[in-house]
Structure 1
Amino acid sequence: MSLLQFLRLLGRHAALLVLVPLAMAAAAFWATRDLPREYAASATLYTGFVSGYSIDSENGARADYLTTQTAFDNLIQLIKSRRAVEHVALTLLAMEASGELRLEDYDAQEATGLVRTVAARGGRASTEATYTRFAAQKNEIESPVYAALYVDPSPFNVSTLQGAIQANRVGNSDMVEVRYNAPDATLAQVTLQILLDQVVTEFREMKTRETSDIVAFFEEETAVANQSLRSAVSGMRDFGVRNRIINYYEQTKYVASQKEQLDHEVQQEQMALAASEGALRDTERRLSEREAVLIQSESVAEQRRALSAATARLARAEAIAIPAAPGEKAPASGAADTATVDSLRAELDSAVRGLHRLTHSEQGVSRSTLTGAWLEHATTVTEGRARLAVLRQRRDEYQRVYDVFAPLGSTLNSLEREVDIAEGTYMEMLQSLNLARMRQKSLEQSANLDVVAAPERPARPLSSKRPLLVAVAFMAGLVLCVGSLLGVEILDQSMRTPERAAEVSGLPLAGAYPVAPATETLLKPLDAQFLRNVALALRERDAQEPQLVVVASGQSGEGAGFVAARLAERFAARGRSVRYLAPHAEGGATAYEVSDAFPETETPDELASGVPGNTASGAEITILELPPVLDAPLPLGLLAHADVTLLAARASRSWSTADAHTAEALERASGHAPHLVLTGAQPMRLEGLVGDLPRKRSGVRRLAKRLARFEFSR
C-alpha cells in the first residue's frame, strides 16, 4: 500500500476517525470527573556503591558495572518489597488509629473506619502498642486490619502503596531517588519518612546478616583448631618430659658421635693389645727354661699378680675418669694407684734383675734386657685388656641408649607432624577469620545509607492528569480506528482494482467501470479503453462480419447487462449497426427466451427468430448477453461462433473457484480465453487505467497528492 492509498483510506473513513476518538475522549473525561488531587514527595539516598570508601577500594579493586547495577537493583527491590511496604502500611494505620497522624487533604474516615473501630475497642493507645496489635491481626482474613491492608481501596492498601512508590537511580551517580504520590500532603511526607527508616534498617541488617554467620563459623573453627594445636603441643611436651628429652636431634647427634668415637677407640685398643700380646709371646719364647721356671716362682708370680691388679685399677680409673680442668688437681685415688703401680714395677724389676744379673739369653741377648722387655710387654698387655674391657662396657651402654632413642624418634616425628598439621589448620582458619571480619567490616561500611535529602511536605498538589488521560483516550481511539482500517484493508481479498483482478483471475483485462452512479467525465475514458480493447481482440481474431461478442457472468448482479448495453451503445455511437440480444428487455436489448432448447442454439439468428418484430438480422455486430453461467446451461454451439467473450465480475468480491470454473468453461466452449471486465469499482481505484480522476482540485490538494506520491520535481 502506497502513502497515497493510505491517505485515501483515511479520507474515505474520516467520520469514523473523528467520531470514535471523540467518543473515547468524552468517556475518559466523564470517568475522571472525580479524580482526586495528588501530592508528590521525594527523598534522596546516598548509597556509596561506586564512589564510597571500602576495604576493597583501598586495595585498588575496580568497580564492576554488573555488580554495581545489581546492588542498585537489590536496593530498589528492597524499597518496593512487600515486607517494607507492609511495615509502612501498618505504621500509618497505627498512627491514624492512635490519632498521631492527622490528614488534612484526604478524608481517611471511609478508608480507616473499620480500623478506628478496632482501635476504639482497645481504647486509645500509643502508636507502638497499636502497631503491635494490628500486626497480630494482619493475617486474620475476617479482621478489619486485613481488609484495610489488602482489600479496601485506600492509600493504606499494600498494593496501592507498592504501585505509588517509585525508586530510581539518579543517572550514573551513587544516589537513589524515592518518590511517592498520595492524596494528602502530610501522608506523602510521613509515608516516605517511615519507608526510608525501615529501608535503612533492613539494608544494614541484611548486609550484616550476610557475613555474621560466616564470621561465627570461622570463629568456631578457629577455636577448634586452636584447641587441637594446644593439645598436640602439650602432648609433645609431656612426651619430652617423660623421656627426658631436651633436644632430641642434638642429643641423638651427640650420642652418635660419641659412639662412633668409642668404636674407633675400641678398634685402636684391640690393635694395640694384639701387638702387645704378640711381643709378649715372642719375648717369652726367647727366654730359657730356667728363666721360665724362675719366672714361675712363687715370689715373682705373686709380685706379678700384684702388679697386674694395680695396673688394671689404674687403667680403669684413667678410662672412666673425667679430665680435670686446667689448674685443678687430679683425684687422689688416681695418684695412689699410679704410685702403687710404680712401686710394684720397681720391686718386680729389682727382683728379676737380681736373679738374672749375670745371665744372658741363648741368642746372646742380655737376660736383663729380655726380662725388662718381657716385663714391659706383660704390663702393656694387662693394661690393654683392662682398657678394652672398660671401652666395651661403655659401648654396651651406648647401645642401650640407642635402643631407647630409636623408638622415641618415630614417636616424636609423629607428634611433630600432628603439631604441624594442627598449626597449619589453625593458621588457615585464622586467616579465613581475618578475611571474613575484614569483609564484614567492609560491608558494614558500605551498608550505611545516608538520607541526603529528607522528604518534605509538598506545598501544592500535582497538576491534574485529566487532560493527559483525555488526550491518551483520544489517541488510543484514533490508533484503534487506523489500525482496524489497515487490518481490514490488508486482509481484504476482494479484487478491488483492475490490476488485482487481472492478477488473481489470470485473464486479460478488457475494461473496468465504477460503481454507480458515475459521471460521464469518468465513463468517457473508460468507454474508450473498453472499446479499444474489444476492437483489438476482434482484429486479433480476424473476425468477419457479422461479428459476435458474448458477454457473460458467473452469477446475477455482476453487471453483465450494464457492460453489454454500454458496449452496444458505444458501437452504435460509432455508426456501426448493432444487434443487442439479452434474456431481458432492459437497456434497449432485444429479449430472447431461455428455453430448454437454448443450449442447442447455434447462431444468434436462431435466438432472434423467436422474437417478434426483430428486423436486425443484417447487423454488423451482435452483442449477446448470456444468462448467469452458474444458473443456466451454456449454448456451446453459439459460443463456438463467438469472436470475443467478455466475463463481467464485481470488484467488491474475491475471485472464487466458481469464477475460475466459469472462465474455464467459456474458454473451452469458445476456443479462446475470455476477457475480464471489472464492474462496481471505486472510482479512485481506477486511476491505474485513466490516470488522475477528472475532478476539480485545489492547489493544496494537488501539492499534497504530489508529496504523497513522492513527486518532488516540477
Structure 2
Amino acid sequence: MDFIISIIRALFRHRWVIISVTVLISLFAIFYTRHMRGGYDVKATLYTGIVSGYNLESEKRTDWSIIQNSMDNLISIIQAESTLKQVCLRLYARVLIKGDPNKDMDGITASSYRSTYDHVRNSPHGKEILALIDKTSEDKTVANLEKYMKPQKDNYIYGLFYYNHPFYSYNALKNIKVQRRLTSDLLDISYSSGDPGIAYNTVSILMEEFVNEYRRIRYGETDKVIEYFKSELERIGQQLRNEEDDLTKYNVEKRIINYYDETKEVAAINKEFELREQDALFAYNSTRSMLGELERHMDSNAKQVLKNMQFIEKVREASTLTGEISEAEAVPTNQQKNDQSLDASKKRLTQLKQELNSLSDSYVSHKYTKEGTSRTNIIEQWLEQTLAFEKAKAELSVVQDSRRELNERYVFFAPVGTTIKQKERSINFTERNYLTVLQSYNDALLRKKNLEMTSATLKVLNDATYPISANSTNRKQIVIASCVGTFFFLVLLFILIEFIDRTLRDAPRARKVTGFKIVGAIPYSNSSPQSKIYFQAAIQELSNSLLRYFTKRKSPELFIVNLFSTLEDSGQEELGRQLDEFWKSRNLRTRLLVYGEDFQTEDSRYLLAKSVTDFYTPQGEDILIVVYPALIQSNIPTELLLDSNVNLLVSPADRGWKTVDQQLASQFLCQVNKSDVPFRMCLTHTLPNAVEDFTGMLPPYTLLRRLGYRFSQLSLTEKIRSGSFRKRSEQANNDDE
C-alpha cells in the first residue's frame, strides 16, 4: 500500500511534466500530420482456374497440397521483385508518355506527371533519361529503360526502383496485397496510393505483367525441355535409321535373307550328309573288299578279259555313268533336266551292262573254276561290284565335297551371326531409347498444352477501377496514439524511476531507503516571501519535534542536541543556526557549538571527551546545539553521543543514499545501539510538498491548491471546510505582514 501511495504521489508531483510533454508531443503529431491525405484503394480479382479448372495431367483424386502450392506460386510471382520491376518501368513509361502537366489524361493525374517529370529533369542525367522516352510506343520506351538500367549506384532508373520513391520504388510496390478468397480459385489484389492514377495504373499493369511473367516462367522451362527432347529424338532416330541401314547393307553383302532359318537349314543338311557319308563310306569299303575277293578267285582267262581294252573302255564308261547317276541322285539341280539326263544315263548303263556280259561270256573257256566256282558268276559279280564300287566312290566323293562346302558355310555363318546379333542388340537398345525419349517428348507436349490451358484460365474477373474518392486518413488515430503513448510512457518512466531511485527526496522515501525515522524536512531557502514562510514553518515543526525529547537534562544540566551528517555539505551548520535563532526568539537560552570554530576535532580533549564539558565550559545555557563534522571526515566519540537528548542525522533530500552513507550510518548505529538516546533523521533542501508532510498544507490556500493537496494526501472524499481554510489564509496573511 505504501508503495502504491508513493507511486501516486510521484506521479502527482510530476503531473505538470507529464501533461506538458504529452501535450507537446500531441501538438507535434498534429503539426506533422497536417498534410496527410487519405489513400486511394484499387482492387481487382483474378480467376486462376487451378482448383476447378480442367487439367490434362490431373487424376481423379484432388491433391490439395499441390493446389495450395500452385496458389502460393501464383501469389509469389505477383509479389516477386522481377514482376514489380517490370511494373515500375512500365508505370514510369506510361506516366511520362500519357501524362499532361495541366490536366488529367487517360488515368494519369497532372500532379503525378509533374512530380515525375520534375524529378527526372532535375537529376544529373535528366536529358539522357528523357531521350529514352518514345511517345509513340510504350513497349519501345520500356525496352529502352531496360537497356539503360544497370546495377550502379548513380544509375537513375536503378535508383528509381531500389530507393524510396513513393510511386515507383520496390518498397512502395511491395505493399501490393494478394490474398486468396477462402478456398476458391479467386485472388484478390489490392493496392493503396496517395495518387488515384498511380494506384489505378499500378494494378492494371500488374495484371498484364503477371500473366506475361507467369507464361515466361512456365513456358520457358517447358519449351527448353521440349526442345531438348526434340533434338534427342531427332538424333536417336537418325542413329536408329543408320543402324538399320547398316544391318540391311550387311545382309545384302553377305547374301543373308533370314539368318536364323538359313542356319537351321544348313544344320539339317549337315546332319543328312553325315548320315549319307556314313552310308557311302560303308558301301565304298564293302564294294572294295568284295572286288578284291572276287579278283583273287579269278583265273587267267577272267583276268585277260579284264585287261581287254574294249572291255576296259566299256567298264570305264559304265563307271562314269554310275558316278554321274549317283551324283545326280545325291545333289539334284533342275528337276526336269535332271530326270531326263538321269533316265538316259540309266538306259546307257543298262546297255553297257549287257555288252559287258557278252564280252565276258566270249572269253570264258571254262564254266567253273578249280575251286568249283562258276566263272560266269564271278565275272558278273565282279562287274556288279565294280559298278557298285564306282557308284559308292562317286557318292562318297560327292558327299565329301558337300561336307566341305557345308564346313565353309559354317565358317561363313559363325561371324555373320555374331555381327548380326550385335547389330540387332544395338538397334534394339537404340529403339528402346527412342521410344523412351518419344514418351518423354509426348509428356512435355502434354505439359505445355496443360500450361496453355492453365494460362488461358488466368482471367481478370474484376478489372481495376479508377478511384474517385480518397479514404479517410488515420490522422486522428495517430494523434490519439501519440498522446496516449507519450502519457503512458512518461507514467511508466516515472514509476520505474520511483522504483529504482535512491534519492531521499521526502520523508516516506527516506524512511524506505534508509530505514530511519524522520523528524523534519527543511526546504530550500531563498529571498521570496513564500519561501521564508515555508522555511519558518519547517523550522518550527522541527523545533517542536525536538523539544519532545527534552525530558531529562544531560550533564552538565543541559539539553543537548547533536547534529551530524555522513558526507560534507549536508547543511547541518545552517540547520543548527536556524534552530538556535528560533529558540532564542522563543526566549530560550541556547548555545551553538560548531566544529572548527568552537572546538577542534583533532584536539585530544575532543577525541577523549566523556562529556561536552571536556572541551566546552557551560555559561548557563538551557539548550546546547553541537554541530559535529561529517562521519566520513572524523569519528564522534561514543560518550558524546550517549550524553545527549537526541542525535539528529542531517542529510540533503536532493542527494542519493549511497553505499558509503549506509556504511557510515551502520557504524554510527553500532555506537548508539544499546543506549536510550533517540536517533532521528532530518532532511534538508527539500521541496515544499515534502515539508507539507510535517507541517500540513502551506499557503497559498487557493481552491486548486486545496484540491491538489487533498489528492496528494489521498483524501479523496474529504469535505472541504471553507471557513477553516479562510482562517488559515488570514493567519498566513498576518504572518506575511
- TM-score with structure 2 setting the length: 0.70
Change (3 A) 1:37 1:252: same
TM superposition shift of 1:48: 3.3
1:468 to 462, 467, 477: 477
1:74 to 74, 77, 99: 77
Change (3 A) 1:498 1:370: farther
Name the CA distance, whole Å, in 1 between partners of 2:33 and 2:667. Answer: 65
Contact 2:318 2:349 in 1 (8 A): yes
Contact 2:328 2:342 in 1 (8 A): yes
Q: Which residue of 2 aligns with 1:413?
A: 421
Partner SS state of residue 321, structure 1: coil
Q: Which residue of 1 aligns with 2:259?
A: 248
TM superposition shift of 1:333: 0.9
Equivalence map 1:186-265=2 (5 Å): 188-265=199-276
2:566 to 536, 554, 557: 554
Partner SS state of residue 55, structure 1: coil
Q: Which residue of 2 aligns with 1:612?
A: 618
TM superposition shift of 1:458: 3.0
Contact 2:112 2:195 in 1 (8 A): no
Give the residue type in structure 2 aligned to 1:216: E
Partner SS state of residue 42, structure 1: strand
Equivalence map 1:40-439=2 (5 Å): 40-58=41-59, 60=61, 62-64=63-65, 65-66=68-69, 68-77=71-80, 81-97=84-100, 101=105, 107-108=111-112, 110-111=114-115, 114=118, 128-129=136-137, 132=140, 136=144, 157-158=168-169, 162=173, 165-183=176-194, 185=196, 188-288=199-299, 291-298=302-309, 300-322=311-333, 324=335, 331-352=339-360, 359-361=367-369, 364-439=372-447
Give the residue type in structure 1 aligned to 2:462: A
Name the CA distance, whole Å, in 1 between partners of 2:628 and 2:357. Answer: 181
Contact 1:549 1:623 in 2 (8 A): yes
Change (3 A) 1:435 1:109: closer
Q: Which residue of 2 aligns with 1:630?
A: 632
Change (3 A) 1:286 1:259: same
Change (3 A) 1:653 1:281: farther
TM superposition shift of 1:382: 1.4
TM superposition shift of 1:70: 3.9
Partner SS state of residue 41, structure 1: strand
Equivalence map 1:22-37=2 (5 Å): 22-37=23-38
C-alpha deviations, 1:323-367, integer Å up to 9, x for none?
85xxx7962111011112222223333444565586345554444
Contact 2:30 2:479 in 1 (8 A): yes
C-alpha deviations, 1:656-701, integer Å up to 9, x for none?
4533653576588789999997765998xx9xxxxxx9863449xx
Name the CA distance, whole Å, in 1 between partners of 2:363 and 2:386. Answer: 18
TM superposition shift of 1:469: 2.5
Change (3 A) 1:146 1:676: farther
Give the residue type in structure 1 aligned to 2:453: Q
Change (3 A) 1:483 1:426: farther
C-alpha deviations, 1:603-627, integer Å up to 9, x for none?
442556514236889xxxx998742
Change (3 A) 1:12 1:54: farther
TM superposition shift of 1:78: 5.8
Name the CA distance, whole Å, in 2 between partners of 1:661 and 1:696. Answer: 38
> How many matched pairs?
642
Contact 2:504 2:655 in 1 (8 A): yes
Give the residue type in structure 1 aligned to 2:206: L
Contact 2:591 2:621 in 1 (8 A): no
Stretch of structure 1 that moved more, 639-648 or 153-162: 639-648
Give the residue type in structure 1 aligned to 2:473: S
TM superposition shift of 1:220: 1.9
Give the residue type in structure 2 aligned to 1:430: L
Change (3 A) 1:358 1:42: same
Partner SS state of residue 81, structure 1: helix
Name the CA distance, whole Å, in 1 between partners of 2:376 and 2:636. Answer: 180
Give the residue type in structure 1 aligned to 2:344: A
Structure 2 unaligned spans of 5+: 524-533, 550-557, 578-589, 694-711, 719-737
Partner SS state of residue 58, structure 2: helix
Q: Which residue of 1 aligns with 2:584?
A: none
Q: Which residue of 1 aligns with 2:587?
A: none
Give the residue type in structure 1 aligned to 2:226: V
Change (3 A) 1:112 1:503: closer
Partner SS state of residue 331, structure 1: helix
TM superposition shift of 1:237: 1.7
Instruction: Give me the CA root mean square deviation.
Output: 5.4
Q: Which residue of 2 aligns with 1:696?
A: 715
Equivalence map 1:551-630=2 (5 Å): 553-556=565-568, 584=594, 593-597=599-603, 601-607=607-613, 610-613=616-619, 626-630=628-632
Change (3 A) 1:343 1:513: farther
Give the residue type in structure 2 aligned to 1:407: P
Name the CA distance, whole Å, in 1 between partners of 2:263 and 2:605. Answer: 137
Contact 2:567 2:661 in 1 (8 A): no
TM superposition shift of 1:311: 1.3
- TM-score with structure 1 setting the length: 0.72
Contact 1:552 1:648 in 2 (8 A): yes
Change (3 A) 1:135 1:433: closer
Q: Which residue of 1 aligns with 2:530?
A: none
Name the CA distance, whole Å, in 2 between partners of 1:278 and 1:581. Answer: 182
Name the CA distance, whole Å, in 2 between partners of 1:172 and 1:49. Answer: 11
Contact 1:94 1:131 in 2 (8 A): no
Name the CA distance, whole Å, in 1 between partners of 2:468 and 2:230. Answer: 54
Name the CA distance, whole Å, in 2 between partners of 1:360 and 1:561. Answer: 193
Partner SS state of residue 630, structure 2: coil
Give the residue type in structure 1 aligned to 2:43: S
Change (3 A) 1:68 1:34: closer
Q: Percent sequence identity over matched residues? A: 22
Contact 1:287 1:370 in 2 (8 A): yes
Name the CA distance, whole Å, in 1 between partners of 2:612 and 2:96. Answer: 101
TM superposition shift of 1:91: 0.8
